[in-house]
Amino acid sequence: VWTACARSSFALAVLSLAFVLWCAAPAYAHPEIERGKRLAYELDLEQAVSAFDAAAASGKLTRAELLELLSERVLLLYALKREAALKADLTWLSALNPEHKLDLRAPTELIGLWTSIRDQGHGPLRLELATRMSDADVERVIAAVRKAMGR
Threshold 0.85, pTM exceeds: no
Mean pLDDT estimate for the chain = 82
Residue 126, φ and ψ in degrees, nearest 5 = -120, 135
As beta bridge partners, residue 132 has 140
Render pLDDT for 108-121 as a digit per residue (tens, 0 to 9): 999 999 999 998 87
Residues 6+ apart with CB under 8 A from 49: 36, 73, 76, 77, 80
pLDDT for 122: 57
Question: What is the spatial distance between Cα 34 and Cα 48, in angstroms, rounded to a whole number?
Answer: 10
Q: How confident is the model at residue 151 (pLDDT cuts 50, 70, 90)?
A: very low
Residues 6+ apart with CB under 8 A from 27: none
pLDDT for 25: 40
pLDDT for 116: 93
